[in-house]
Structures are given as C-alpha cells and as structure tokens.
C-alpha cells in the first residue's frame, strides 16, 4: 500500500466519475479533516472522466491536482493510494479488479455490481490482493440511524417482529424523458443492471441487513410503466429494461417479517426513505426528510405517559453518534455529512485494522437480495436468498 504511514500522512485519492456521487464524495474528502482527528488526511490527487473539459472544470471546483481521461491511467499512477469508483454500475467490476491488482485501496459506489456473479468476482479480487475496500451505503452513517442500531444491539426493542421500509421518488414519470447517456444512465438496463431495485431498494436492503440481520427469502413484484424511451446515445426509441417500481415481502432469519417498496412514480416524493421496526418492547421509525430525528416508542414507559417520542439526535455527551464532531447541541446536520462520516470511518479502519463496513463482502449480501427480488418478480414465486 504505497505512501501510507502514520502522523497524518496524506491518503492520496483518485476519483473516477464526475457526477452527483463524485461531488458528494469529493466534498467528504475535503471536509473530513476539518472535523475529525484522523491519522491520514485525504489529498485529492487526480480525477478522471471521459470529457476533458468537464473533468478539468470538476478538478478546479473540488481541488484535484490533476486529471485523466482514461481510468486505466489513473489506476496506474504511483501517486494514488485509493481509487474511488463513481461511474455507472456496468463499469464497477472491471475497474475494481484493476485497482485491486494494482495493490490500491478501492471504494465503490452502490450497488456493488450489476449482478451477484460480478459482485463475487469483485470480492475475490480485493480479498486476494488484501486491499482495504468499502461500498458507499451512506445511510448507515446518519446519526439517527446509527442510534437506532445501538438501541437494537442493546436489546431495547426485544424480539423483532416487523421491518418495513420504502424509498419513493417521482422524477421519471414524464414519458418523453430519454434513457441512457449522461445523467440518465440509471434508466438504461445495460448500464444500471436494474431500476429502482438496485438504485433505491439497495439502500433499504443494506440498512435492513445491518439493523435486522439476514433475509431468508423474498416474494416480489415489479412494473415498468413506460415501455419505450428514446435512447440518448442512439437517438432511437428503444425498449425500457429497468423496473420503475418494485415491492416485496420477505422473511428474516430472526423470524421477523419485512415489507419493502420503491418507485420512481410516486408523485410528490423526491427522496422519501423511511423505515420502521416493531419489537416486543419498543418500536422505532426514521424518515430521511427529517433525518436528524429518531421516533421511538417504548411500552415500558409509564402508562399515562406512554407514546411516541421524537429524539433530536444532536447531543455531544457521547450518547448520539458523530454529533460531538459538529456544531453545538440542537443544531442539525444533513445528507452530505453522512459521506464525511463514512470517509472518517474508512480512515479510522486503516489505522485500527478493523475494516469500515460495508466492505465488498458485506455489500455482496445486498446484491444477493436484489438478485433474489428480481428473480422472484420474474417467476411470480417465493425465492430463497442464496449464499
């Protein structure tokens, strides 16, 4: 692992991809050392995308020292320690394998891969090379969601009976919206692999596996509401291969039941991610639109005062995760801070030798559930989540 030593030596970052996630990750690299006392400090060495002018403008905005237009050239550079993959899903596997072969750390946007087979290959590549790796499932790093995890681990909920989650958007309803190409590759099955299942439900699934354990089997249905769209690359009207909506039932290994829903056709919702967990002693729920609050109900409260409470997750006394690194109690943080937290945890893991989750191997389990969901929807039957 070239260039990594103690005493806050630079962690030299190479970023591939200049889209939305490239911006989110770059912001995190720039901000993390301002708020977290860490052994390594990110240094933005190079950014890569195919359009030279756009890449140069991105580098100037976010502070990268240089640019590349071929990802292979970035991977081969001696002045890069870690490569961050922020490109469409169909490119993840090849790039990750090359990064691992070069002996560099690799961070990858979600979902891990196009399918389970690619995900397995990516796991083998990083594990055989022995390089640190992580997948950007950032909602684990919301302080309120982290607090929920702590409450569950402490046994506050008791036996879990139900887990429900949804992720709703409305941005693809217009029939004249094209598919494929820049900004719209998520609507092209050849680049994305799936629609809302891999893009939105993957977040719900990762969080559920982390909070509630493994999913045993699923029964799913999907729908594609607009069957044809013009493809930006060809100018031709082509069949749409992704799922616009997906809903599934599942059974967890702990005996609890799950209900999941995602769609890009929920008019009025831009990014509604909610989860609720019901246990024998207590329940909790969380909403991305109010991400700094955790709703909590305890049956053990005195009867006349029993009811849902709203916990404002901003305390600095160690009871609320991450918050002592930010402002004064009572002042909330936002979406972008989840990526800062993930970078901080990754760097901390380099120092302690305890990998920051989710690793590629962790994210492969989410990929397995997504695959089972799509197989179930295609066969109209219950499907086991294979190991």
245-257 mean pLDDT: 98
364-382 mean pLDDT: 98
243-258 mean pLDDT: 98
Third-level CATH fold of 140-379: Dihydrodipicolinate Reductase; domain 2 (3.30.360)
Would you say residue 363 has pLDDT above 80? yes
Rounded to whole angstroms, the Cα distance separating 135 from 147 reads: 21
- The pLDDT assigned to 73 comes to 98
Rounded to whole angstroms, the Cα distance separating 68 from 86 reads: 14
Name the 3-class secondary structure at 175.
Answer: coil
Residue 90 neighbours by CB under 8 Å, 6+ apart? 114, 190, 191, 192, 193
The listed CATH number (3.10.180.10, 3.40.50.2300, 3.40.50.720, 3.40.47.40) that belongs to domain 9-138: 3.40.50.720
94-105 mean pLDDT: 98
Confidence bin at 2 (pLDDT 50/70/90):
very low
Structure tokens at 161: 């009976």
55-67 mean pLDDT: 98
248-259 mean pLDDT: 98
Structure tokens at 152: 């569950």
Domain segments of the chain as ranges:
9-138, 140-379
Would you say residue 305 has pLDDT above 60? yes
- The pLDDT assigned to 387 comes to 65
Would you say residue 75 has pLDDT above 80? yes
Taking Cα atoms as reference points, which of 233, 264, 228 lies closest to residue 246? 264
pLDDT single digits (tens) 207-238: 999 999 999 999 999 999 999 999 999 999 99
Would you say residue 195 has pLDDT above 50? yes
Confidence bin at 4 (pLDDT 50/70/90):
very low
Considering the chain, what percentage of its residues have pLDDT values greater than 70? Answer: 98
Confidence bin at 386 (pLDDT 50/70/90):
confident
Confidence bin at 264 (pLDDT 50/70/90):
very high
Rounded to whole angstroms, the Cα distance separating 59 from 329 reads: 35
Confidence bin at 289 (pLDDT 50/70/90):
very high
Tell me the whole-structure pTM to 2 decimals. 0.96
315-330 mean pLDDT: 96
pLDDT single digits (tens) 146-162: 999 999 999 999 999 99
């Amino acid at each position: 692992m070239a260039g990594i030593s103690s005493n806050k030596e630079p962690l030299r970052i190479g970023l591939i991809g200049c889209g939305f996630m490239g911006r989110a990750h770059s912001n995190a690299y720039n901000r993390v050392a301002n708020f977290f006392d860490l052994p390594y400090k990110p240094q933005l060495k190079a950014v890569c995308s195919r359009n030279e002018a756009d890449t140069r403008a991105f580098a100037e905005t976010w502070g990268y020292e240089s640019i590349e237009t071929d990802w292979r050239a970035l991977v081969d550079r001696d002045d890069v320690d870690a490569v961050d993959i922020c490109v469409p899903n169909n490119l993840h596997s090849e790039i990750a394998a090359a990064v691992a072969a070069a002996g560099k750390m690799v961070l990858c946007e979600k979902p891990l891969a196009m399918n389970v087979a690619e995900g397995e290959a990516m796991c083998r590549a990083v594990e055989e090379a022995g390089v640190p790796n992580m997948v950007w499932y950032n909602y684990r790093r919301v302080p309120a969601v982290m607090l929920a995890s702590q409450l569950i681990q402490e046994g506050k909920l008791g036996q879990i009976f139900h887990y429900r989650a949804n992720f709703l958007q409305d941005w693809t309803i217009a029939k004249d919206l094209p598919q494929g190409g820049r900004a719209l590759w998520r609507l092209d099955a050849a680049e994305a692999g799936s629609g809302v299942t891999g893009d939105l439900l993957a977040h719900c699934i990762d969080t559920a596996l982390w909070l509630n354990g493994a999913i045993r089997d699923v029964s799913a249905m999907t729908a594609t509401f607009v069957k044809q769209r013009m493809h930006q690359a060809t100018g031709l009207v082509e069949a749409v291969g992704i799922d616009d909506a997906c809903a599934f039932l599942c059974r967890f290994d702990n005996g609890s039941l799950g209900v999941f829903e995602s769609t890009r056709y929920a008019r009025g919702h831009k990014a509604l991610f909610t989860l609720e967990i019901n246990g024998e002693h207590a329940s909790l729920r969380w909403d991305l639109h109010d991400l700094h609050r955790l709703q909590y109900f305890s049956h053990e409260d005195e009867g006349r005062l029993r009811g849902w409470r709203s916990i404002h997750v901003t305390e600095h006394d160690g009871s609320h995760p991450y918050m002592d690194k930010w402002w004064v109690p009572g002042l909330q943080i936002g979406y972008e801070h989840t990526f800062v937290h993930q970078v901080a945890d990754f760097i901390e893991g380099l120092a302690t030798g305890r990998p920051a989750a989710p690793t590629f191997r962790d994210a492969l389990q989410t990929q397995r559930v997504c695959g089972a969901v799509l197989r179930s929807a295609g066969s109209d039957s219950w499907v086991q989540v294979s190991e």
